Amino acid sequence: MDAPFPSALHAAVLDWYDDHARDLPWRGVEATAWSVMVSEFMLQQTPVARVLPVHGTWLERWPTPTALAAEPTGEAVRMWGRLGYPRRALRLHAAAVAIAERHGGEVPASYDDLLALPGVGDYTASAIASFAFGERHVVLDTNVRRVLTRVVSGAELPSPAVTRVERDVATSLLPVDPATAATWAVATMELGALVCTARQPSCDACPVAGLCAWRRAGFPAYDGPPRRGQAWAGTDRQCRGRIMALARETDGSVPLGRIEGAWPVAEQRQRCLAGLVADGLLVAIGSELDEVLAYALPS
């Protein structure tokens, strides 16, 4: 790596971010650490446009971790709405309970304390410590990985899982100053989200096009392991989503007959119901003969 490369890369990306950063509620100067944390849970595998309204209503109802911790888990699942992957709501609720019990209701600033919370892995701990508290951490989400893979490594897309080499490259490019490092993390993320996108990158609008190894190499196509698609129609994900929509829209329990009408494929429906119960997203309600008659959100 040439000596001027990191400084030139930093300057180009940070200047671009100053002019093009989206005005998002979890980035404002008044955003709380809890707002940042909620956004990080919601943004996992979900685009910003879908997260924005749910994030707003969530913070209105539960402006602090303690407020959420005082509610039943079923209410967290209900408020999650149609964001998908509702187990994230259970994990966020569990993290809020832990924050209330261990940290006096305040989101901890320490990476190690964040990592110890339920549902928080390396990426989420790094992102919260960086974006909420201005700490210096490598933050490797899909967008950041794609930008660094193209600009530094000359490949179209990163490998399915983060590699040691990839992390070493990201670490070598991390600015020394913590505040600058935190801005660098969100700026590269924004560049990947808005310009260096997966399918149609806008290279003409990219501030680092002149530094990009992928561009210099002639944009070689991805030749790594096959990447999973996002099929939906007829899948268990769709079945689970339809069942959960019924549960969220009902104050009490959902009769089994309604669920059968919503998804008539019996074997798949039963498999998905069993999975939702095992995941803690639904509870089964039985009769005196111990037959399941209905399902409801957990209380």
Is the Cβ–Cβ distance between 247 and 280 less than 8 Å?
no
Decide the pairing of beta strands 254-255 and 292-296: antiparallel
Q: Sign of the C-alpha dihedral, residues 183, 189, 191, 193?
A: negative
Least confident of 91-95, 126-130, 289-293: 289-293
Rounded to an integer, what is the distance from CA 98 to the centroid of its chain?
20
Segment 241-250 mean pLDDT: 93
Q: What is the DSSP letter of 203?
A: G
Across the beta sheet with 254-255, the strand order is 254-255, 292-296, 283-286
Domains parsed from the chain with CATH numbers: 33-106 (1.10.340.30), 236-296 (1.10.10)
Q: Per-residue pLDDT for 4 more than 60?
A: no
Q: What is the pLDDT of residue 69?
A: 98
Q: What is the pLDDT of residue 234?
A: 87
- Write out pLDDT tens, residues 140-171: 999 999 999 999 999 999 998 999 999 999 99
Q: How many CB atoms lie within 10 A of CB 248?
A: 17
DSSP letters spanning 115-158:
HTSTT--HHHHHHHHHHHH--------HHHHHHHIIIII--SS-
Q: Taking the model in full, what pTM does it have?
A: 0.89
Q: What is the pLDDT of residue 3?
A: 41
Segment 216-226 mean pLDDT: 86
pLDDT band at residue 224, thresholds of 50, 70 and 90? confident
Quick one: which of 88, 83, 87, 93 has its CA closest to 61?
Answer: 93
- Write out pLDDT tens, residues 37-54: 999 999 998 999 999 999
Question: What end-to-end distance do the CA atoms of the chain give, in Å?
Answer: 55
H-state helical runs in the chain: 4-20, 33-42, 48-61, 65-69, 73-80, 87-102, 111-115, 122-133, 142-148, 164-172, 178-194, 213-216, 236-249, 256-262, 266-278
Residue 255 phi/psi, 5-degree rounding, is -60, 145
Segment 10-16 mean pLDDT: 97
Is the Cβ–Cβ distance between 208 and 151 less than 8 Å?
yes
Q: What is the DSSP letter of 222?
A: P
Q: Per-residue pLDDT for 289 more than 90?
A: no
Residue 4 phi/psi, 5-degree rounding, is -75, -15
Specify whether 166 is catalytic. Answer: no
Is the Cβ–Cβ distance between 284 and 272 less than 8 Å?
no
Q: Per-residue pLDDT for 59 more than 90?
A: yes
Spell out the residues 6+ positions from residue 102 whose beta carbon is closer than 8 angstroms to its own: 113
Which candidate in 30, 40, 190, 291 is catalytic? 40
Q: Per-residue pLDDT for 62 more than 70?
A: yes
Give dist(CA 47, CA 22) in Å, integer.
Answer: 14
Q: What is the pLDDT of residue 299?
A: 87
Give dist(CA 14, CA 25) in Å, integer.
Answer: 20
Q: What is the pLDDT of residue 1?
A: 46
Look-up of token digits 């955003």 = 31
Q: Per-residue pLDDT for 229 more than 80?
A: no
What percent of the chain has a predicted confidence (pLDDT) above 70?
96
Mean pLDDT of the chain: 93
- Write out pLDDT tens, residues 113-122: 999 999 999 9
Q: What is the pLDDT of residue 2?
A: 46
Q: Per-residue pLDDT for 231 more than 90?
A: no
Give dist(CA 80, CA 73) in Å, integer.
Answer: 11
Segment 283-288 mean pLDDT: 80
Quick one: which of 88, 82, 107 has its CA closest to 97?
Answer: 107
Dihedral of CA atoms 248, 250, 252, 258 in degrees, nearest 10, equals: -110
What percent of the chain has a predicted confidence (pLDDT) above 90?
86
